[in-house]
Amino acid sequence: MIAVIKTNNPVTISYARSVLNDEEIDCYVADTHASIIEGSIGAIPQRVMVLKEDAEDARKALSKAGLEAELCES
């Protein structure tokens, strides 16, 4: 899997998941439990992961939705 977004912002994570769901691109949010364990200081960002073959389409959909500044480098 490839990380397309890495952020501490739960709203960004939720929005990205919604965008990908609308485009029928499966995604997984990694590091959720680590982020919760460390408390609410936001030191450990969460990653929105997609399959390697969906990465390009996911990046396009997220950019179109206004999340281009949040995208991980390819």
Provide the mean pLDDT of the chain: 90
Question: Domain 2-70 falls in which CATH fold?
Answer: Alpha-Beta Plaits (3.30.70)
In the chain, where are the structural domains located? 2-70
Backbone angles phi, psi at 27, to 5 degrees: -140, 165
One-letter amino acid at 32 equals: T
Alpha helices, DSSP H, located in the chain? 10-22, 32-37, 55-64
Strand 27-30 versus strand 2-7 pairing type: unpaired
**Given this model, what pLDDT does residue 38 score?**
59
**What pLDDT shows up at residue 40?**
59
Q: What percent of the chain has pLDDT over 90?
A: 70
Averaged pLDDT, 18-33: 93
Per-residue pLDDT, averaged over 61-67, amounts to 97
More confident residue, 21 or 10: 21
Tell me the average pLDDT across 15-25.
98
